[in-house]
Amino acid sequence: MPDEGRADVVPPTVPKGQQSPNLAIRVLRAVGRGVYRFFRGAVRLERIVGYALLVGFIALYIADPKPVQFMRLKGFDFYQQIKPRELPPPEKKPVTIIDLDEKSLGEVGQWPWPRNIIAQMVENLMKMGAVVVAFDIVFAEPDRMNPAAIADALKGLDEDTKNKIRQFKSNDEIFAETIKRSRVVLGQSTVESEWEGVKAKPVKKSVAVRKYGANVPDPLDILPSFPAMVRNVPIIENAAGGRFGGHGIFSIIPEQDGIIRRIPSLFVHEKAMFPALSVEMLRLATNRPTILVKVDPAGVRSLGIARGLEIPTDRNGLIWPYFSKSDKAKYVSAVDVLNGTVDPAMIKGKLTIVGTSAIGLKDIRSIPTESNIPGVEVHAQIIETVLNQAYLNRPNFAQGLELSVILFGGLAMIVLVPWVGALWTFLVFGVTTAGVGFGSWYAFDEYRMLIDAVYTLIAIFLLYSTLTYLNYVREEASKKQVRGAFSHYLSPDMVERLAENPDSLKLGGEMRDMTLLFCDVRGFTSISEQFDPVGLTSLINKLLTPLTNAILQRKGTIDKYMGDCIMAFWNAPLDNPNHAMDGCRSAIAMLAEMEPLNARLEQEAKDEGRKHIPLKVGLGLNSGPAVVGNMGSDMRFDYSVLGDTVNLASRLEGQSKTYGMNVVLGPQTYEAVHDALACIDLDFIRVKGKLEGVRIYGLLGEEEVARNPKFQEIRGLIRDALNAYQHRRFDEAAEMFKRIRVMGNDENKPWHLEANLDVLCDIYEERIAEYKENPPPEDWDGVFVATSK
């Protein structure tokens, strides 16, 4: 039988049907907590702002206002500037420009030239084998040198003579006849005002339309249109209306910033389509009667010139050429063509364009690769682009790809900045920038695709910057809260450390080499008896404020106030390799604050009719290893310091009055500062609570005192006296202390700190007298056992 004194407890068996709901509830609770944490993080202020900005950037991209277009185009310009289209070799240049340059204008005369001269130039070009002669010029008025115009202009001629002159063939007729015998494309220009041009149908219809699919727009509604045109005089205009002639519009439409990037292939006027000059030249060069405009539901797709020669365009019929740098090798001077001195290889088999590079004729344009280029060369570059199939293209998937980059890059910034911080997120942004930039450049370099990296990266960067700023503001608010909570209790350095790293608010410490300072008011009990509690509190605050400032201004940390006593240290929480020197200088500065403080307190005592007792302080400093850190309980702790170094510093402050000194230093503090500051030897003592003796020293002043010959003399004499005393040469030591007493009472002594050498001399004279009667034991090492703290 089982023992009746104990019970065997057997856990009840839970049916499976009851186990499952409990497990499900725990899982649901865990999931709920996770979802709560997720949404709590997701709805932080910076993330809400980030989501709003992301939506705004996407909406702005879809709206595509002019500034967004401008940024995009500038990015594409930059690619062409880095890698412009390569110039073809001389033998493969399809176009030669017949340049009305400064040389030609100087030899033939100012423009416009008589048209019989232009006719002669066309005939010379045809004889030299030019495929087509096109004019980047419009002959809008009759030649002023026509015989009839001359006859009317000359004064004094009789009517018969004028009629004979009028019988001569006009220059316009001569030019028109030459055009009929040649392959010539005349230039036309568009204008924005009906008052500046004329309205008229094309001389001949050379454009046809083919539609693909349903709901195809009418190209007349989507191509660039103009209300009027500048055309050639009728006799010349009609001369190019035959099989081997043509008309092309040489107008070029720059973007809003004045740069030419996209060229219209067709223009609309009076519900008719007119080809661009370069397109008409290609039609005539390939002996095609018409240009076929291919239109699909998206808009214009391309222009068919000849079999195997098709010009892709955007939906508005714009050609996006891949520009090269300006090529002076394709220019020949018009006067050289007239004189027959031009290189025949520059003309034979070439499409020639008559235009000008002369600045005075004002046909200078800007393209992505050149800020100043003759307009006639723009037409030449279009022809080179078409024949070399070197178009730039913006693929249909470009918008979707760019939106995806903005969306996912923006979400990455929204998630990462508050989560991992600005630095790591910046690395992610850097990788994103490199990837997007490289991808955009690779698409241009290899496939001449235009993928916008500028707007996408600007959007992501602005998201990153805004989120980083908001994150910074939030962290600063947290730091401000920490500073507000601890600034009244800790040093500014410690407050900043806590603000930067709130995780340091936990128990624990570290071993450091430090300098400790204790400061106490002498005779404070007698002083406090003159005040009520309120007045005493005011007095303590008046005392502690300047003394505390002297410590904090020299990188010190206030450990605690104990009534009228201050405990401070150096080299924590921040590293300070000169902690001993800063501690000593703080002590000197604290003593310097006492004189003006006592002067104010004396005046207050007179005003209140009470006795004034001057405040005097004693200080002890010691350096060495100590444990520093947050010490206390889990609920309440202080940043403080512990160790023998601390205890000795407290004992040294207690000895300052005994030896008539304001400041007493421990051995390691002395070793760190004695080469620079004015220090004297005091004694070799064993303080209360210590088993070993330590040498102590007095601090009398800064470097200026240390360099004074009088101080150096008395410092050496004190050292010699103590040496004689510790080696039992008591009579010799006694004589030296007599001399020290005299020198210490010299009115011209160099130190300003309190150092009553009479007290020091009295101590040693009493000891010497005692040791003469009762000599110390043979193993005496010169140490004196201090009985007071």
**pLDDT exceeds 50 at position 42:** no
Q: In this predicted model, what pLDDT tens digit does every residue of 87-133 receive, in sequence order?
A: 988 888 999 999 999 999 999 999 899 999 999 999 999 999 999 99
d(CA 437, CA 405): 11
pLDDT of residue 497 exceeding 80? no
Identify the band that residue 28 occupies on the pLDDT scale cut at 50, 70 and 90.
Answer: low
pLDDT tens for residues 566-594? 999 999 888 899 999 999 999 999 999 99
**CA distances to 36, 71, 73, 246, 435 from 76, in Å:** 46, 9, 5, 34, 17
Query: Which has more pLDDT, 463 or 25?
Result: 463
pLDDT (0 to 100) of residue 692? 86
Q: Considering only CA atoms, which of 164, 139, 148 is closest in space to residue 235?
A: 139
pLDDT reading at 84 higher than 80: yes
Neighbours of 50 (CB within 10 A): 23
pLDDT tens-place string over residues 718-740: 999 999 999 999 999 999 999 99
Quickly state the pLDDT bin for 65 (edges 50, 70, 90). very high
pTM higher than 0.75: no
- Whether the per-residue pLDDT at 485 is higher than 80: the answer is no
Lowest mean pLDDT among 16-20, 287-291, 493-497, 517-521: 16-20
Highest mean pLDDT: which of 88-92, 237-241, 619-623?
619-623
Q: What is the mean pLDDT of the chain?
A: 87
> Which residue in 333, 383, 441 sits closest to 88, CA to CA?
383
Instruction: Kindly report, residue by residue over 142-173, the tens digit of the pLDDT.
Output: 988 888 777 777 777 777 777 777 778 889 99
pLDDT digit string, tens, across residues 394-443: 988 999 999 999 999 999 998 888 888 888 888 988 999 999 999 999 99
Cα–Cα dist 632/642, whole Å: 12
Read off the pLDDT of residues 457-475 as tens digits, 9 standing for 90 and up: 999 999 999 988 888 887 7
293-297, 317-321, 610-614: least confident range? 610-614
pLDDT at 29: 61
- Structure tokens that stand for 98 in this block: 């017949």
Residue 96: phi and psi, rounded to 5, are -125, 135
pLDDT at 570: 95
pLDDT given at position 195: 59
pLDDT at 198 over 60: no
The DSSP output letter for 254 is -
**Vertex 448, ends 445 and 450: CA angle to 5°?**
105
Residues 6+ apart with CB under 8 A from 77: 259, 261, 368
Residue 13: band (very low, low, confident or very high) from pLDDT cuts 50, 70, 90: very low
Burial of 663 (0-12, 13-18, 19+ CB in 10 A): buried
Question: How many other CB atoms are found less than 10 A from the CB of residue 438?
Answer: 12
Q: Residue 551 above 90 pLDDT?
A: yes
**pLDDT for the residue 12:** 41
The proportion of the chain whose per-residue pLDDT surpasses 70, expressed as a percent, equals 88
